[in-house]
Structure 1
């Protein structure tokens, strides 16, 4: 059986050992080692990556108390040098111990238990057995966990049998019957856990709570620790620096400056919409002059559908005629009237649109459609004008 260096020598990242077995399954190569520091997936923690004899390790898993390493190709020798991705391991270790501490503080402060834990490359989270947490509560949790990190309490790991578990204040009873590994943050928490952990909680570096969301009646709390938290801070600091430079203001004034710009944008947008309505009304009046037909068709080469729709509705509001407006840019049309005509716009589309490969629909007062080609749209418009005029 493989000696598990990730338990006996958790700081080791390079070592030499012997391959004890090579298993070839189609294109899959599995090897077992006399000693391994590669942590297999378990306890919510992903497997380690690295190399064996310079060959990439793709996956590590445990089965029947043996650790298997899936590698990219068959090694040429049985005495091999192994190396784990120490940065990945450190991130996993910081977040795993960080989760234990965070869960302990949530329980300590608000009697909230952790239902599950996710440690991924994109995010880390715990699901808490509570429907919500207020911002004040989250701030208190964050302050407390980081205060404890500064105290740098030791983290001890040891194995016990089930008979001795009654003397340990565990919040969650393990399924294992024997050789149960306990992770103890001195004076703070006891948990049955098979993952890798820092030697003392100062090694977590810091814990930053990111956000919460509802999940199956509980709260999912996202957080980051250590190296990843530093990277997150740097990314956000760089963004804030660029924003403050672009806005010619200090960090503290960015939020109020953005709020002011957002208000100015909304005011300008409102003014623009009012102008666009007046412009559409002006166009509609011009286009309706000397147009006695039952249907008046406007075909625009340089306007988008939104502009066409606005002009059509303004025209329909001031006449009893049926209005058709089309945009050649988007190959879309609108057919509408204000209700004084018995003409059914949606019904007309339903009856005739497919013959011209158009797609769309609507109700009696208004309908819209899109066409795969300009020719299809022009033919449909010509047909419609012929039917109504």
Structure 2
């Protein structure tokens, strides 16, 4: 016996039915009823949730022609009469979003000829995929304005069962994906579309529609939007954020962009000034380090280990040393919790040492990788290296 699904009962939240089958599959234990108003997942719309007696329904799917109600507790049995209750807030939210999708897709089609080729109704946002390579802000604004006009006109949303032949007499927005009896969802003189989802009776119940953004998705444009109560929730969230920002930045919300831009400019200037100060400090540090060089055959050799020093600072410090003394050879090691990093710099007056060749010989002891040129090289490898042994190795290579 196949389940009878009441497609026209979008507003029906309570019903009685008999359990005609109880079984399990890979999703868990499920019940099949002789009749139900639970909408199963399909057509881009998630399923209804609710209860059968006191048992929670976690998932509803149509499998092999039967509507399976998956339950958390296997208390109900075959032959038992149960009372079903739909989670109305979830149902009505889906009704608003799905009807809003019809209106939005029809508006894109009517204004610009853009066709919808994908639809997904999520818990946070709804998306449609348009078969176009790009979308402009002006087009989006015009579509939203038109869609909300349709909503505010409180047009009828009618669900009608017709034959395939009858369906093809209507100006369908897209080709039918099923045969036999067809369920059309109709907004007269605006949209005609084959659909099995739940919808309100009037467009005004959608309340309002807002596009929240769009992005490139393969060869299409994916539009994100909200309808109904989700729009109001988003407005409330955004209002709270604006109030907090206004307090934090000490500016009226209408002046927040100007205030934020000013702060960003000041921060960039401060960062630039800080970098200049750091650069000057590194030059002083380089000059100080030169006093501790080992001098061998008129060559100044500097070996230094650091803890948690950034590689960027070490690079600049090494370059500052060899710029100050073109007969210097620098070998720096920085030890961090993750790795050991090496920097080598060779002054321009030194011809007997090539930084990249020296680094190539040292890195195998760290199981590391790196590279560079004759005067500068860097690399990194395993943490916990014996730094003093590395220094001795480099001295031997010299």
State the TM-score, normalizing by the size of structure 2. Answer: 0.90
Q: Distance in 1 between matches of 2:386 and 2:236?
A: 55
Distance 1:313 1:44, change over 3 A: same
Distance 1:340 1:150, change over 3 A: farther
Question: Which of 113, 130, 133 is matched with 1:131 structurally?
Answer: 133
Distance 1:130 1:86, change over 3 A: same
Equivalent residue for 2:390? 380
Q: Distance in 2 between matches of 1:310 and 1:145?
A: 59
Equivalent residue for 1:350? 360
Question: CA shift at 1:49, angstroms?
Answer: 2.0
Distance 1:157 1:312, change over 3 A: same
Q: Deviations over 1:309-364 (max 9, x none)?
A: 22112213233322122334564331223555453434333333233x35231123
Q: Is the 8 A contact 1:162 1:177 kept in 2?
A: yes
Question: CA shift at 1:106, angstroms?
Answer: 0.6
Distance 1:329 1:66, change over 3 A: closer
Q: How does 1:304-383 map to 2 (within 5 A)?
A: 304-320=310-326, 321-329=328-336, 331-342=340-351, 343-355=353-365, 357-364=366-373, 365-373=376-384, 375-383=385-393
Distance 1:278 1:26, change over 3 A: closer
Unaligned ranges ≥5, structure 1? none
Does residue 19 of structure 1 match 2:19? yes
Q: Note the aligned Cα RMSD (angstroms).
A: 2.1
Q: Is the 8 A contact 2:155 2:203 kept in 1?
A: yes
Q: Is the 8 A contact 2:336 2:383 kept in 1?
A: no
Q: Distance in 2 between matches of 1:17 and 1:385?
A: 88
Q: Distance in 2 between matches of 1:27 and 1:216?
A: 32
Q: Distance in 2 between matches of 1:73 and 1:322?
A: 74
Question: CA shift at 1:287, angstroms?
Answer: 1.0
Q: Is the 8 A contact 1:358 1:372 kept in 2?
A: no
Q: Distance in 2 between matches of 1:303 and 1:64?
A: 64
Question: Which of 183, 186, 189 is matched with 1:187 structurally?
Answer: 189
Question: CA shift at 1:248, angstroms?
Answer: 1.0
Does residue 2 of structure 1 match 2:9? no
Question: CA shift at 1:57, angstroms?
Answer: 2.0
Q: Is the 8 A contact 1:285 1:315 kept in 2?
A: yes
Q: Is the 8 A contact 2:183 2:195 kept in 1?
A: yes
Moved more, 104-113 or 76-85: 76-85
Moved more, 256-265 or 141-150: 141-150
Q: Is the 8 A contact 1:17 1:82 kept in 2?
A: yes
Work out the number of aligned pairs and report it.
Answer: 385
Equivalent residue for 1:196? 198
Distance 1:27 1:133, change over 3 A: closer
1:167 partner SS: coil
Q: Distance in 1 between matches of 2:136 and 2:126?
A: 20
Question: CA shift at 1:118, angstroms?
Answer: 1.5
Equivalent residue for 1:266? 268
Q: Is the 8 A contact 1:297 1:385 kept in 2?
A: no
Equivalent residue for 2:84? 82
Q: Which runs of 4+ in 1 moved over 6 A?
A: none
Q: Deviations over 1:71-125 (max 9, x none)?
A: 2232334222222222222222111111100011111111111111111224321
Q: Distance in 2 between matches of 1:372 and 1:110?
A: 60
Q: Distance in 2 between matches of 1:238 and 1:376?
A: 55
Distance 1:89 1:371, change over 3 A: same
